[in-house]
Amino acid sequence: MFGPHAPESPCLVIDLSRVRDNLHALRSALSGLGDRHPTRIRFAVKASPVPEIIRLLAEEGTEFDVASVGEIEQCLALGVDPATLCFGNPIKKAAHIAAAYAAGVRRYAFDTEDDLTRISEYAPGSEVECRFLASTPQSRTPFGTKFGCAPGEAVRLLVRARDLGLVPVGPYFHVGSQQLDPAAWRIGIEQAAAITEALAVKDIPVRAVNIGGGLPISYADPAPELSVPGAVIAETAARHLPEHTDIVVEPGRALVGSAGVIHAEVVNVRIAPDGRRWVYLDIGRYNGMAETENEYIAYRITTLRDGDIADDAVIAGPTCDGDDVLYQRTRVLLPTTLRAGDPVRILDAGAYTASYSSVSFNGFPPLTVHVIGAERE
């Protein structure tokens, strides 16, 4: 991890072999769904739009959740079949729907009648999934009420989709990013099942239930193994959903989070007037560490001086912005011997780091990405 041939700092190093292993582990964790509920894994491109990752997952037979025309164009340029893409962002312009349809995308998510009407006009005959707001426990990085309609409204909108000449596939929910409570999937699937039953009365068979992403990984605090929510998903689907209803899973973090390590460097160490020690890194909130907002995600940090006496430290980024502070409430213990120029490694940083990195805030460049590991076995 440390050595004379380490790449420039800061940068993100992605191990493709770990991405592949994570995909296989996820498939194993969901194997309890069996033939009764065929599983479709749809990678959330926004988590890590690295070309090598997209190519690898396409070869492994995944689908792709795309959030913009830019992500659609990137996937198509990498040879991804447009039939495997779902335009999953419920907030999209008419022009973007038209562009996606022209590119061959025939699957869309929505949560309002306005968006549904635009889809019917600019992507006629397409498959649609209606996102509802499930009453699940709050996740570590919650969406709040930004997305999703009421479950009863989802029934009405999917009926409306049929009447507009679209193909209503079924309900869609998301338990929130980095969801640590496996019961969230039970609650969401039970609510989706009620929607499914209401649609059956309207002669609309649900083809698939999209249970979104949110599968967690361990950071400084542990997360349940994938097998734990996997068992909840399988048991709840078997109990409440009709046989042969597909289960669509949209992992991002679960596939790429543990595959990335950020190589960074200490820029300065300071004792503030209040006596607190501040450690400034060459990476911060605006060039990769956006998920430290509100200190939601507590990354593990290692140094060459681990083993020396450690004490509390405030961790901050390099910009002139006062909000560019990573951790000041979360307790972070770092060696008291740390000095400017010392390398540090931020572990399990493969998700939402390079993709969140700003173009050039304060003149700092976006986070560089290096990919290791064979693309094919």
Check if the beta carbon of residue 361 is closer than 8 Å to that of residue 2: no
Annotated catalytic residue, options 75, 86, 149, 320: 320
CA of residue 92 relative to chain centroid, distance: 19
Active site residue 130: no
- CA nearest to 118, candidates 169, 71, 160, 73: 160
What crossing angle do the helices spanning 51-59 and 16-29 adopt, rounded to 10°? 40
> What length is written for the chain?
377
* Rounded-to-integer distance, Cα 132 and Cα 180, Å: 20
Q: Look at phi and psi of residue 116 and say left if phi exceeds 0, alpha if psi is from -120 to 50, else beta.
A: alpha
d(CA 283, CA 349): 12
3-state secondary structure of 156: helix
Helices (H), 4-150: 16-29, 51-59, 69-77, 94-102, 113-122
Closest CA to 199 of 162, 165, 249: 162
Cα–Cα distance, 63 to 338 (Å, whole number): 44
Q: What gap in Å lies between CA 201 and CA 49, rounded to an integer?
A: 41
Beta carbons within 8 Å of 109's beta carbon, 6+ residues apart: 86, 87, 88, 89, 90, 128, 129, 130, 131, 172, 210
Please report how many Cα atoms fall inside a 13 Å half-sphere around the Cα of residue 33, on the Cβ side: 27
Amino acid 196 reads T
Active site residues: 320
